[in-house]
Amino acid sequence: MSEAGIAGRTALVTGASSGLGARFARVLAAAGAKLVLAARREDRLAALASELREDGAEAITVPLDVASLASVKYAAARAEAELGPIGILVNNAGISRQARLEEVSEADYDDVMNTNLKGAFFMAQAAARQMIAHRIEGRIVNIASIAGLRALGQLGTYSMSKAAMIQMTHAMAREWGRYGINTNAICPGYIATEISEDFVGAEGGRKLLASLPRRRLGEPRDLDGLLLLLCAGEPARFLNGSIIAADDGYTSA
């Protein structure tokens, strides 16, 4: 039921070269979407596209630096030209910089905000323009974080960017809902990806695990059902502006 309205749609996933982005692309491809894989690491995108095509999916790759408006516009135009107007956008690209607030440099601040917030905004804008022009009842899923709900130590700029993304989601839902576009946000908790492997084995990681309700990290597949629901057609018709924490109860404590 949750896959209704996904098959045949053009879905653009940013940050698709690894981690959650690659997982999201695989899940949407399995549901029948036509995939636009977008990220900076083109070699990884090519490998993922090849894998998806072998499984029968339609997939293209687009080099994308979301911090560059020119790159965002190019990616959106390529998607429309090759696979048709964007019907689903998963705004997944993001970075973090670990530092105490008094030590944050201007360069690091700009990198985080330009990628996590500015890039996500203009990518959503580009997708929404296509949806509006083609009268598509589209779905935009912003990948925020529990850091947007609860500030995390030494990740102040990242937390601020994700909190702003949550407010951005509310604004988009209010303005674009009239066109049938639903905008929602997923706030993942601590998920086991290649980025977290080294951290989990260190002392800080062990302390983190001890603080989690069930003493475990989530797995990328734990977000599959939520992603499919938010990207669906009729089953997600009344879900607009929702901010959903998928964190195994961490932010409930």
CA-to-CA distance for 22 and 48, rounded, in angstroms? 7
| 116 located within any domain | yes
| 174 located within any domain | yes
Question: Active-site positions?
Answer: 158
Give the neighbor-by-neighbor strand order of the sheet with 34-39. 59-63, 34-39, 10-14, 86-91, 139-143, 182-188, 243-246
CATH code: domain of residue 208 = 3.40.50.720
Q: Which pLDDT value is given to residue 214? A: 85
| 2 located within any domain | no
Give residue 29's domain range. Answer: 10-246
Q: Which pLDDT value is given to residue 246? A: 95
Tokens representing residue 151 in the block: 């500030």
Q: pLDDT per position in the chain (253 positions), as tens?
A: 346 789 999 999 999 999 999 999 999 999 999 999 999 999 999 999 999 999 999 999 999 999 999 999 999 999 999 999 999 999 999 999 989 999 999 999 999 999 999 999 999 999 999 999 999 999 999 999 999 999 988 899 999 999 999 999 999 999 999 999 999 999 999 998 876 665 565 666 677 788 888 888 899 999 999 999 999 999 999 999 999 999 999 898 6
Tokens representing residue 25 in the block: 């692309």
| 4 located within any domain | no
Residues 15 and 130 sit within 8 Å (Cβ to Cβ):
no
| 159 located within any domain | yes
Instruction: Please give the tally of structural domains in the chain.
Output: 1
Tens digit of each residue's pLDDT (9 = 90 or more) over 241-252: 999 999 999 898
| 94 located within any domain | yes
Residues across the chain: 253
Q: Which pLDDT value is given to residue 4? A: 72
| 251 located within any domain | no
| 5 located within any domain | no
Residues 160, 161, 166, 171, Cα dihedral to 10°: 110
